Amino acid sequence: MTEVKVLELRVAVTADDFTALSRFYREGLGLEPAQIWPEDQGRSLVLDMNQATLEIFDEKQAETVDRLETGGRTSGRIRFAIKVSDVKSASKRLIDFGATLIHPPVTTPWGDEVVRFQDPDGMQVTLFQSASS
């Protein structure tokens, strides 16, 4: 049997407001487009985030993370967690591009600084700065 290797993770988000959500991630996080597909079949944008991981939680773990980051269970079934080099600067930029603050910055028991937002389409986003960075 041939070994199959996963080479990339892509998360496809269908935006209610394509322009606002594109600006939020492009300008708010400073992400450059890897691809912009022709508009004849609809607008799309591929943003390369350098490295992706897939976290799968059970409900108890999701509640634990939400409690640490926001004080209670707030996120839906899917939440983005984005590692940044400077959580304070990134937070300010996201607010400027339409983020809604869910919970101000907190330091986790393992030392990461995290802050929770909602993007313009309602997806919860955790920005985190690793204690080791």
pLDDT average, residue stretch 37-54: 87
Partners of 100 in the β-ladder: 118
* pLDDT (tens digit per residue) in 109-129: 999 999 999 999 999 999 999
Mean pLDDT of 30-45: 88
| Number of structural domains in the chain | 1
Q: What CATH number is attached to the domain comprising 123?
A: 3.10.180.10
Beta bridge partners of 46: 35
Give the residue numbers spanning the domain of 69: 18-129
Cα distance from N-terminal residue to C-terminal residue, the chain:
40
Give yes or no for a contact between 119 and 99, defined as CB atoms under 8 angstroms apart. Answer: yes
Helices (H) and strands (E) in the chain — how many of each?
Answer: 3, 6
Residue 118: strand, helix, or coil: strand
The Cα-based distances of 16 to 3, 56, 107, 113 in angstroms read 39, 26, 33, 30
pLDDT digits (tens, 9 = 90+) for 3-18: 988 788 889 999 999 9
Q: Does 6 fall in a domain?
A: no
